[in-house]
Structure 1
Amino acid sequence: MTAEAEAIRAADAGRSAPPARRGRVLPLLLVLGWLLGVAWRVWLARHAGMPFAHTDEDGYLHTARALAGGPGGFSSENETLRRIGYPLLIAPVFLPDRDFADTYLIVRIVNAAVNATLLPLAYLLGRRLPGLRRGPALAAATVAATVPAAVFHSAAAMTDAVLAPLLLAWLLAVHRLVERPGPAAAALGGALAGACHLVHSRGLVVVAAYAGLVLALVVRRRLGSAGLLVAVLPVFVAALANEIGVRLLGDTVHLLGNPPAGNDLWAVISGPGLAQVLASTGTQLWYLMVVTFGLAGLGGADAVLRLRRPGDEPGRWTTGVALVVTVGVAVGAEVVLAGVPDRVADAIYARYVQMLAPFWLLVGVGVLFTVAYRSLLRTAAVTVALLAVGGALVHLRLARALAGGAALRHGDFSAPDLAALTGGWQGMRPLVGAAIGVVGCLLLVLVARRRRARTVLLAALVVVNVATTQVIAERLIRPMADVGTPVPAVADLGIRPVDRVAVSTGVPYQVRYNLGHQVTWTEVPWFADRPPATADVVLARWAPGEPGDWDGTRHGFVRLGGDPARKWAAWRRQ
């Protein structure tokens, strides 16, 4: 901790305001902030009555339903990277027999409740890591808790809704373990690392980083054999629980994903493959700096400097571990994705590093408030250079790929916050992103010089975060939900739990999945042209005058209704 941060902590401890009053008000503010955060997150997804982030949502929902004893379905996962942690969390929602729309709403409420814990967790981390006062720590936590990179995913049934707060909790445990090594702290860190592993394959990087930290503490004789045992045991329990859950599911959930092929090795050992991985990794790290307006750059640069700076060992180790996880996740994601057969390379795929945005934003705010101004200017100069050079390199990469006739992919979920900030919905705009990051960073550094303006500065960042998230909701969530929501509902066409239902692959996949979700009582198999002999009702393509229009009368069915605009119809066997 810096001398200025020590002074801040001392001044904070010596304030004359009644401690009892402050002790009562602060928890109340955190609880109120959490409740407001839950309500805001649920409201953001108000237009999405059905899943819109296909096909990941569908796989998690089908797995959760199967874990609750219901019928299975399809999942885009593969055997190698399959995880059941998130489906286990939402599985109880599927236990009562209710309409799928109600079930999906409750799933998003669970997401919102977990995701909104970013506020208290970020507050605790702000108090511990950079040593912020109560007021600035609460303001900084509000900024971190509203960052779109983490908030956006709470609107969908995806693991990312819980990973960001889970990661903050784990880093808090890491700080505690280094500060006061012991079995209790080691067990907490191991449990949270194991939870990360149980939720997503990114947890492997967290587990590896935690294992390195624990071994370092053991070698330095700061942690004994008991601490080592309780640190490792929860990770093994989590891995075993995942394996048991997968075995119990058996073939109930059909996996559509292909396991990583030999391309993984090619991505690491070949020149072009390694260049692709490094370029994609750099793009992800650059993205984190842009969407936090340079704060992640300030935090990352300071973390690198801390590694060689004496003092504040818990802070050095915590940010050092976070650096390892950040780079490890970015590299690991690209290596794994490179192994997907026939995959088109992404201009950016930031989903896997988005869970780290709240942490690095928080560390960056700590740099603004606690580092001497001259040192802050040097750190800001490094950040500005990284933003500018990174934007130029990403621009050149995109232009070169386009000139070679192999334009890089830019999907809806690649980096929705970056698209909202830069207006890059149709394609990535790295130069605009670099400009936003540079200007934002310079403004933050200039304003941070005046203590009284800091609160206004953080309030402005909250407003920007909220506005950006609203743009994402209107430009991405709402239209995608509209396209993929079947009208009328399956129940309105007279389809009941006694019916055995099948769906044609000719139905657009967004609608196909959401039609299947409404059939909660049985698994809905797919067919190409001839429906299964056991099907009482089929949901098939309805596109008059277009190829693939399905005529059910040829198979003895009568049409019940549907929506030719979304290209589907329900047919009942006569």
Structure 2
Amino acid sequence: MQTSVIDRPVAGPAPVSRSRPARLPWLLAGGWLAHLLLRLWLYRYHAGPVANPDEVGYLLAARWLAGGPGGDYSGSTFYQGGYPLLLAPVYWLSTDPVTVYRLVSGFGAVASASAFPLAYLVLRRLALGRRAALALAFVAGLAPSLLLFSGLALVDAVLPTLVLGWLVAFHDLVNRRGVVPGVVAGALSGLAMAMHMRGAILFGVFVVGVLGVLVFRRVSLRAGLWALGAAALAGGAGMLVNARLKAALYPSGIKDLSGLALERVTGLEGQARSLAGAAGQIWYLVTATWGVAGIGIVAALVVLVRRGGSPYRVMAGILLALTLGIAYASSAALPDEHRVGNYAYGRYLACVAVAWTLVGLVALLRSRRRTALALASASAGLLALSGGLAAWYAGDRLTRYTYIAFDFPEAAFLSGVRDRFDLVGASVAALVLLAAITAASLVRTKTPIGRKVAGALVLAFALAVPNVAFAADIAPKSAPARGNDGLPRLTHGRVGLDTRVKWNIWVHLIHRVHWTEVERVRPSDGPLPEGLCTVVAAPEAGAPPAGWTVSGRGQGWVTWTAC
């Protein structure tokens, strides 16, 4: 493979009028607005959490951080406070659950749409011209990884944008050697660590990366220390917030994912499970980006292993380390829930999907014909190898275990199969799209706007076709029917919740009961606490105690009222 994959010197962009830089902010603002409106339209009917217990876990934390009532989320995964801290101001505007959720959805849309201008900056750091960078960044902003979670109360709505901003700041720290980008990169690292385990991997990669460039004198000691100091300060603040949150909302402890990860990585079977799960995540990353992320990964590997200096070597290593670290660590910590998604999952690496897509697009645009074909072939090989390893380890569990459609939106779109996991069908469709996008990148038409810009526009169009088709696929076809959802209707007073009520009921109640903390009770163990107004009991609780009357019934619950 030729050595000029992503950093081959190229001719500068065609001469432009002096008015173009003045138009740039308006173009970026207009593109950002278009992305925001698309996301608001896609999630216009969402009025409450659908991805639970995750969404309610974040919303509960945000409500408590805003000074509202908490709740008992003991025994669940710990939903860290970095992301809820960003949501907390929403609860100062309203406490109504529907209004809160719509505002949170809007916040996620704003954060996700902001990936477009940051993607533009990433492409500019890769020495792409303004017009080419605008076109490719706009289309990359339509990526499934950015659309899927933008309207949900999930940390995934903001992580991809944070990662892009972090990459730009880290690049500027290394290549421009400024204190300010180092502080920004460090602060974003600390914020990410306070948000999710994926952020802890990002934080670790940042610290090791800064120490590495300090050793090799790629940055000044002053800039490096400022960067590490900002990371330590932000990370320390996040740890304090998380400690208080854990004590308040998880009084009986959390699900010990760190312990599970440690147990896995110290045993052969656990290592096999972790590595196979990581391979499944890599497969999903390549497949869900129509093979383009695979091209980016291969190009970064070439930059790392070839001889000679490259201005992109540090960033290639940083992004690879982040990706592989997330894939491995998340697979090691993921409990075996007897679901297909335990073996091939796309959500955890969605935060780096756009970054790899951008690298892949630049590699295609910069490469000669033979190199582009070699990159596409290597991406296809990576898809086949990672998917094959995941399928080999999982075996019949891919068909025997529970299939949850929420885990496989891109795979279902590619294969057309909605009720089961079709790894082969999704892979074949992704390879077809990879071939089409690669073929588009080989178009070198001479036009008044220049060959490079014309090539970028053709490539952008080729990527836009599947991205827009996916957006149309997930778009709501009509307004959902509004009716009784089968949950208790509570409006006032203190509320008690029988510990035997199933989780899919009490999770929703914790979100909907916004005026007081839902108290855990066990009616069969003795008298109910004084002052309770309503108790949501399990059907097996029997008749209510004296002074209480049955006020409602549903599937898996019965309400008693005393006021």
Report if the CA contact (8 A) 1:395-1:431 is conserved: no
| Aligned residue type for 2:290 | F
Q: Hey, what does 1:273 align to over in structure 2?
A: 270
For residue 150 of structure 2, give the secondary structure of its aligned residue in structure 1. Answer: helix
> Per-residue deviation at 1:78?
6.7
Match of 1:354 among 350, 354, 358: 350
| Aligned residue type for 2:376 | A
Report if the CA contact (8 A) 2:414-2:426 is conserved: yes
1:142 aligns with 2:131: no
> Per-residue deviation at 1:314?
3.2
Normalising to structure 1: TM-score of the pair?
A: 0.86
Report if the CA contact (8 A) 2:5-2:302 is conserved: no
Structure 1 residues 311 and 369, CA gap change in structure 2 (3 angstroms): farther
Structure 2: distance between partners of 1:206 and 1:369: 28
Structure 1: distance between partners of 2:26 and 2:38: 18
Report if the CA contact (8 A) 2:146-2:160 is conserved: yes
Structure 1 residues 257 and 150, CA gap change in structure 2 (3 angstroms): farther
Structure 2: distance between partners of 1:368 and 1:162: 28
Q: Hey, what does 1:367 align to over in structure 2?
A: 363
Structure 2: distance between partners of 1:2 and 1:382: 16
Structure 2: distance between partners of 1:4 and 1:386: 19
Q: Hey, what does 1:55 align to over in structure 2?
A: 53
For residue 536 of structure 2, give the secondary structure of its aligned residue in structure 1. Answer: strand
5 Å-filtered alignment, 1:160-199, equals 160-199=156-195
530-539 vs 209-218, which moves further: 530-539
1:74 aligns with 2:65: no
Report if the CA contact (8 A) 1:50-1:104 is conserved: yes
For residue 390 of structure 1, give the secondary structure of its aligned residue in structure 2. Answer: helix
User: Structure 2: any 5+ residue segments left out of the alignment?
Assistant: 445-453
Structure 1 residues 470 and 443, CA gap change in structure 2 (3 angstroms): closer
Q: Deviations over 1:404-426 (max 9, x none)?
A: xxx45543443332233223443
Q: Hey, what does 1:230 align to over in structure 2?
A: 226
Report if the CA contact (8 A) 1:5-1:132 is conserved: no
> Per-residue deviation at 1:438?
1.4
Structure 2: distance between partners of 1:77 and 1:300: 38
Structure 1 residues 380 and 528, CA gap change in structure 2 (3 angstroms): same
> Per-residue deviation at 1:122?
0.3
Structure 1 residues 553 and 473, CA gap change in structure 2 (3 angstroms): farther
> Per-residue deviation at 1:527?
3.7
Q: Deviations over 1:383-440 (max 9, x none)?
A: 122223433444434434479xxx4554344333223322344332111121022111
> Per-residue deviation at 1:507?
5.0
Structure 2: distance between partners of 1:154 and 1:363: 22
Report if the CA contact (8 A) 2:293-2:360 is conserved: yes
5 Å-filtered alignment, 1:533-572, equals 533-540=530-537, 548=539, 556-561=547-552, 564=554, 570-572=559-561
> Per-residue deviation at 1:315?
1.9
For residue 441 of structure 1, give the secondary structure of its aligned residue in structure 2. Answer: helix
Report if the CA contact (8 A) 1:195-1:238 is conserved: yes
Q: Deviations over 1:456-510 (max 9, x none)?
A: 44234334223324434559x998x9899567854xxxx23xx111234565533
Q: Hey, what does 1:415 align to over in structure 2?
A: 408
User: Structure 1: any 5+ residue segments left out of the alignment?
Assistant: 542-547
Structure 1 residues 43 and 171, CA gap change in structure 2 (3 angstroms): same
Match of 1:434 among 423, 427, 430: 427
For residue 307 of structure 1, give the secondary structure of its aligned residue in structure 2. Answer: helix
Normalising to structure 2: TM-score of the pair?
A: 0.88
Q: Hey, what does 1:468 align to over in structure 2?
A: 470
For residue 255 of structure 2, give the secondary structure of its aligned residue in structure 1. Answer: coil
Q: Deviations over 1:169-211 (max 9, x none)?
A: 1111121122112323322221221121122121221122222
> Per-residue deviation at 1:356?
0.7
Structure 1 residues 164 and 250, CA gap change in structure 2 (3 angstroms): closer
| Aligned residue type for 2:377 | A
Report if the CA contact (8 A) 1:484-1:514 is conserved: no
Q: Deviations over 1:10-38 (max 9, x none)?
A: 1x1x41x4222x22332212112212222
Structure 1 residues 305 and 439, CA gap change in structure 2 (3 angstroms): same
Report if the CA contact (8 A) 1:9-1:133 is conserved: no
99-108 vs 505-514, which moves further: 505-514
Structure 1 residues 567 and 331, CA gap change in structure 2 (3 angstroms): same
CA RMSD of aligned residues (A): 3.2
For residue 561 of structure 2, give the secondary structure of its aligned residue in structure 1. Answer: strand
For residue 329 of structure 1, give the secondary structure of its aligned residue in structure 2. Answer: helix
For residue 177 of structure 2, give the secondary structure of its aligned residue in structure 1. Answer: coil
Structure 1 residues 333 and 223, CA gap change in structure 2 (3 angstroms): same
Structure 1: distance between partners of 2:360 and 2:484: 39
* Aligned pairs, number: 548
Q: Hey, what does 2:95 align to over in structure 1?
A: 98
Report if the CA contact (8 A) 1:394-1:430 is conserved: no
Q: Hey, what does 2:518 align to over in structure 1?
A: 524
Match of 2:34 among 6, 25, 36: 36
Structure 1: distance between partners of 2:390 and 2:337: 24
5 Å-filtered alignment, 1:250-269, equals 251-254=247-250, 257-260=254-257, 262-269=259-266
For residue 107 of structure 1, give the secondary structure of its aligned residue in structure 2. Answer: helix
Structure 1 residues 253 and 170, CA gap change in structure 2 (3 angstroms): same
Structure 1 residues 341 and 348, CA gap change in structure 2 (3 angstroms): closer
Structure 1 residues 220 and 97, CA gap change in structure 2 (3 angstroms): closer
For residue 197 of structure 2, give the secondary structure of its aligned residue in structure 1. Answer: coil
391-400 vs 191-200, which moves further: 391-400
Report if the CA contact (8 A) 2:436-2:462 is conserved: no
Q: Percent identity?
A: 32
For residue 502 of structure 1, give the secondary structure of its aligned residue in structure 2. Answer: strand
Report if the CA contact (8 A) 2:179-2:226 is conserved: yes
Structure 1: distance between partners of 2:108 and 2:297: 29
Structure 1 residues 443 and 99, CA gap change in structure 2 (3 angstroms): same
Structure 2: distance between partners of 1:471 and 1:3: 34
Report if the CA contact (8 A) 2:413-2:473 is conserved: yes
| Aligned residue type for 2:464 | V
Q: Hey, what does 1:544 align to over in structure 2?
A: none
> Per-residue deviation at 1:252?
2.7
> Per-residue deviation at 1:143?
2.5
Q: Hey, what does 1:23 align to over in structure 2?
A: 21
| Aligned residue type for 1:38 | L
| Aligned residue type for 1:155 | G
| Aligned residue type for 1:557 | W
Match of 1:459 among 449, 458, 461: 461
